[in-house]
Amino acid sequence: MKLGIHAYAWCSQWSNETLDLIDRVKKLGLDFIEIPLMCLETFDGPAIRERLKSVGLDSCTSTVLLGDTDISSDDPAIRAKGVGYLKACVKATHAIGATSFSGVIYAQHVKPQARRPTEATWDHSARCLREVADLAADLGVTLGLEPVNRYESHLVNTCAQALHLKNLIDRKNIRIHLDTYHMNIEEKSFYEATKLAGQDLIHYHLCENDRGIPGTGLVDWDGIFRALAELKYNGYAALESFVDCTDNMNTWVWRQLAPNGDTLVREGVKFIQSMQKRHGL
């Protein structure tokens, strides 16, 4: 398993001013950094690729869709803008030498909604992602669908729903990205949901139930790592915990979940590495 961390542990927006985080992650002994693509305007692909190469660090990328890029929308203009944005994200991923791009890429994140999704909603999302997946395949990039909780999406909340959308898209480079924070709300079992993802699992966000330091809350870490060991999982797994609110993505952190970002990272990494050792990952 490749152990890494999301850049949001320290920064609210990626830019060349945060390139030093690549060095910081390397010094922590981690395998990769997850770079957010929320603001492509401040994303300098060549600079990131050069810094990653110079320190010898792997990377992956992620994002969420907003209201004007919602590919599940009934408005064809919004869907077209969403496809354009996701294609730009795929190209940005390829530009830094990464091969994994994931997140809430199937519908608007935190979409105001008063009804369950219709078949048309699923179809809009699948058709758009099929087009994005075709470009991604040409560039050697795999797409990961990340289920999130009911308060952040009405479309994909569970691993089973993510697999359903994957089947609708029907492309070989579509995979599953699980997140323990959301699983704590939506899944019946961390172990069973992880096993259900199976060989389609490409990325895992390792979060405590309150987004604080892993190992200090209610998440069934033994169940998760037992499943990952049985799957012989060798994909990405990133700490995605937050201390501060960000300027471009609502993380709903209204209290201090750790003394500071460094403490969160240090103690979180130590705990996750102990779980890896316990379960032979």
Q: Which of 142, 177, 181 is nearest to 161 (CA)?
A: 177
187 contacts 193 by C-beta, under 8 angstroms:
yes
Is 17 assigned a catalytic role? no
**pLDDT confidence of residue 244:** 56
Which pLDDT belongs to residue 245?
Answer: 54
Q: What is the pLDDT of residue 251?
A: 72
Q: Which segments of the chain have a pLDDT < 70?
A: 242-250
* CB atoms closer than 10 angstroms to residue 37: 21
Domain ranges of the chain: 2-279
One of 34, 152, 187, 240 is an active-site residue; which one? 240
144 backbone dihedrals φ, ψ, rounded to 5°: -110, 125
pLDDT of residue 254: 80
pLDDT of residue 257: 82
Give the model confidence (pLDDT) of 44-54 as tens digits: 999 999 999 99
230 is catalytic: no
- Model pLDDT, residue 11: 82
CATH 2.120.10.80 fits 2-279, yes or no: no
Task: From the candidates 146, 152, 186, 187, give the one annotated as an active-site residue.
Answer: 146
Q: Is the dihedral of CA 119, 125, 130, 133 positive or negative?
A: negative
